[in-house]
Amino acid sequence: MLRRLLLAVGLVLAGVGFAVAVQPNLAQIVRLPPLPTFVVAVLAGVFALAGAVARRNTEFRDETDDEDRNDALETRFEPPRPGEDIDARLREGAGTLRKGADDAQFSDRLRDVTVQALVDARGLAPEAAERQLDEGTWTDDRTAAAFFADDVDSPTADVVGAIVSADPVYERQAEHVVRELRRIAGLQGGEH
């Protein structure tokens, strides 16, 4: 009740102030006491500062709370596409030339699959397939061969192309390996 009363008084005073500001002659009619304007200015300034400090100390709701809340409201589950984890890792590592821990994991998977594909398609023993990978002799594609073999370098044109297009060399080599694998595994014509 007191809150509303004070509010009503405040609103009336604000109304009077507004009216006097628009028509200063009203001050004489309602016989407001003469008050130096600098006192009003100082008081308003102090209250403004107090308001600003109060605002600074206010704990506003975290925007992420709303995002979390929205996620909780819309629970529709959309499963990922197979291989989305690899694409996400490559996106995160885009632009970097260094191999990260995730890249190493992807490299291991790529190596395992390549060995298995060579064993299946060419009847090699796993050790022989590993050796071909290390020596870079498993494919005629030098870019793909360079992915596993330390002694094989990517063709110069590929390195220049990677720099010009800002594609990481690692990703370019991986693309070539996958292209070769598709051929070997029979998903693109095939060797068998």
Q: Where does this chain bind other proteins (CB under 8 A)?
A: 3-4, 7, 10-11, 14-15, 17-18, 21-22, 24, 37-38, 40-45, 47-49, 51-52, 54-55, 58, 60-61, 73-88, 90, 109-110, 113, 116-117, 120, 171, 174-175, 178, 181-182, 185-187
Answer yes or no: are the C-beta atoms of 96 and 168 closer than 8 Å. yes
Closest approach of other proteins to the CB of residue 87, in Å: 4
Complex with other proteins: residue 3 or 151, whichever CB lies closer: 3
Closest distance of CB 52 from other proteins, Å? 4
- Structure-token match 């819309």, residue found: 74
Give me the least distance between CB of 137 and other proteins, in Å please: 20
* Euclidean distance between CA atoms 146 and 139, whole angstroms: 10
Least separation, in Å, of the C-beta of 129 and other proteins? 12
- From CA 177, how far away is CA 154, in angstroms rounded? 12
Any residues with CB less than 8 A from the CB of 94 and at least 6 apart, and which?
168, 171
Give the amino acid at 37.
Answer: T
